[in-house]
Amino acid sequence: MSMRHTMKARRALTAVAITTGLVLTVAGCGGGEGDKPDAGSSSTSPDKGKGGEEEPKGGESQPPAADTILAEVTGGDDNTTLTITSAVRDQGGFLTVNGKLKNGKGGNWVPNSWRGDEKELSNNGSSMAGASLVDRVGKKKYLILRDTDGRCLCTQFSGAFKDNEEKTWFAQFPAPPAGTTKVDFQIADMPVAAIEISDGE
């Protein structure tokens, strides 16, 4: 009798162990299905690159935008060409004018007279310090900004311009009121350049 009870107990324990093993196996297989990504979906679409941004189709790239020209004047005793590419008013109360300057003299040229006649700007040789803006409607003239040492907030050119050499420049002024959208840019003996102001962010 005792032998028969022992055999029954062993069979019961074996059955419980097998059942428990099967339950754990089924649970392990079933739990992984929900974590697999769907075969038809992807985290990035076919038209997007690694960063998730759309890439141009067909491998085409956009050409770089050409410089906008607000005004271009040629003149003065040195046959210089002055080009203005932007005039942006920012929220800090400044107006920054950018452009290019090309020597058309036929030899080396140094724009010494462009520093202006103001005594405070006398140490700004070969610069855009003599530039100013005129608001004809508001009847106001804006002189270039300068620091406490009299240095203009503008480009100071290093060395002479070679024949047909072109250099970029900038000049900062107090910003006219928001209602003023057009001003005249003046410097040295160059013709007046009428420009339109745009608002920066």
Going from N- to C-terminal start, the domains of the chain cover: 1-32, 71-199
For the chain, list residues with pLDDT below 50.
Answer: 1-10, 12-34, 36-37, 39-53, 55-59, 61, 63-65
Task: Quote the CA–CA distance of 82 and 103 in Å, as a whole number.
Answer: 9
Task: Quote the CA–CA distance of 96 and 122 in Å, as a whole number.
Answer: 22
Q: Is the dihedral of CA 75, 183, 156, 118 positive or negative?
A: positive
Domain covering 71-199, topology: Immunoglobulin-like (2.60.40)
- The 10s digit of each residue's pLDDT in 94-124 is 999 999 999 988 899 999 889 988 888 888 9
**φ, ψ for residue 2, nearest 5 deg:** -65, -35
Task: Quote the CA–CA distance of 84 and 195 in Å, as a whole number.
Answer: 8
Check residue 66 and give its pLDDT.
59
Beta partners for residue 154, in sequence order: 171
